Amino acid sequence: MGRLAGKSAVVTGGARGIGEGIVRLYVEEGARCIIADIDVEAGEKLEAELAPNAIFVRTDVTSESDIAAAIDAAILEFGGLDIMVNNAGVVGVIGHIDTTPLADYERTMSILVTSVFLGTKLAAGVFKKQRSGVIINTASTAGINGGLGPHIYTAAKHAVVGLTKSVAVELAPFGIRSNVLVPGATVSSLTAGIVTGDKDNLEDAAVRLGSKYVGGRAPMPRDLANAALFMASDESTFMNGTVIIIDSGKEVLSDRARDKFYPAE
C-alpha cells in the first residue's frame, strides 16, 4: 500500500481492461487517477466506484484538445500530473495488405500511434517544467515481433516502442522516464470480443486464452497493472527507454523448441 502515495495519473483507456486494472491498482496504492476514455458508460461506472480518487473525463485519444483537457483535469482536481499512461487501443483494421483501405489504415494509426504522440507531447510539456514525470506507453508483443497481430496493429505497436525509446533520450535530462508496457494476449474487453464475439464475456475469454499459455492461465489486467505500478513508482528510477514484456515468456521462449526437447511428462 502507498507505493504511489500523493501521485496523480492520467490513464487513457482507463475505463476497461488493462487500463481499468491500472486505475484500480494505482488508486489502491495511493494515487489519484483521471480515467480518460471514450466509453462514457464504463468510465462513469468506474468513477462511481472509486471517486473521489478517480474521475472520469470523456476523452477521444485522437483529439489533442481532449487529451489536453484530461491533463488539465488532473492538474485542477489533483494539483498536478506525475504519471501519464498512454494505453487506449483497439485492434483496428484487419485483412490482407493489398486490400487494406487507406482510410482504415489512417484511423487505426490515429487511435494507436497519434494518441501516444499526443499524450507524450502534452505530458512532456508539464513534466519538463517540473523536471519530473513518468510516461508509460502500452504496446504489445505484436510491437516486438511480426506475425502476432494484424499488419497495421503490428506497425502501430512497433511505432509506439520506437517513439518511447526516442523521447526517452530527450526527456531523461529533465528527470522524466519513458517506458513501454508490453502485454501478451490478456483477458480484456478487446480479446473477449475477438475470441468469444462478446466483449463482456471475460470468463470464456479467460478459458480460451488460458489454453494457449503454459500453465493454462492467461494474463489478467492485474498482471499488467502490477508491472505498470513498478514502472510508475520510484522503485524503477533507473529504468528508462525500455520495455517490460508480460506474457509468461510465451513470445520470448520458443514453444516449438520446448515441445521438441522437453516433451510434456
Active site residues: 153
Segment interacting with ligand NAD, rule: CB under 6 A, options 53-61, 97-105, 166-174, 254-262: 53-61
Output 89 or 133, the one with its CB closest to ligand NAD: 89
Question: Could you tell me the smallest distance in angstroms from the CB atom of residue 101 to ligand NAD?
Answer: 19
Question: Could you tell me the smallest distance in angstroms from the CB atom of residue 124 to ligand NAD?
Answer: 20
Backbone phi, psi, residue 61, to 5°: -70, -5
Question: Using DSSP, how many helices (H) and how many strands (E) does the chain show?
Answer: 10, 7
Binders of ligand NAD among 123-162, rule CB under 6 A? 138, 140
Q: Does 179 bind ligand NAD (CB under 6 A)?
A: no
Contacts of 151 (CB under 8 A, 6+ apart): 97, 100
Size of the site for ligand NAD (CB under 6 A): 29
Q: Does 177 bind ligand NAD (CB under 6 A)?
A: no
Question: Could you tell me the smallest distance in angstroms from the CB atom of residue 50 to ligand NAD?
Answer: 15
Segment interacting with ligand NAD, rule: CB under 6 A, options 60-68, 94-102, 164-172, 257-265: 60-68
Q: Does 163 bind ligand NAD (CB under 6 A)?
A: no
Output 130 or 145, the one with its CB closest to ligand NAD: 145
Q: Does 16 bind ligand NAD (CB under 6 A)?
A: yes
Contacts of 123 (CB under 8 A, 6+ apart): 10, 71, 81, 84, 133, 135
Q: Does 240 bind ligand NAD (CB under 6 A)?
A: no
Helix axes 40-50, 17-28, angle to 10 degrees: 20
Grid cell listed for 143: 510491437
CA distance 205 to 207: 5
Q: Kindly tell me the burial class for residue 103, based on how many C-beta atoms sit within 10 Å of its own C-beta (0-12, 13-18, 19 or more).
A: exposed
Question: Amino acid letter at 179?
Answer: N
Question: Could you tell me the smallest distance in angstroms from the CB atom of residue 138 to ligand NAD?
Answer: 4
Contact 46, 35 (CB under 8 A): yes
Grid cell listed for 54: 478517480
Q: Does 38 bind ligand NAD (CB under 6 A)?
A: yes
Question: Could you tell me the smallest distance in angstroms from the CB atom of residue 2 to ligand NAD?
Answer: 26
Contacts of 227 (CB under 8 A, 6+ apart): 181, 244, 246
Which stretches of the chain bind ligand NAD, using CB under 6 A?
12-13, 15-19, 37-39, 42, 59-62, 87-90, 111, 138, 140, 183, 185-186, 188-191
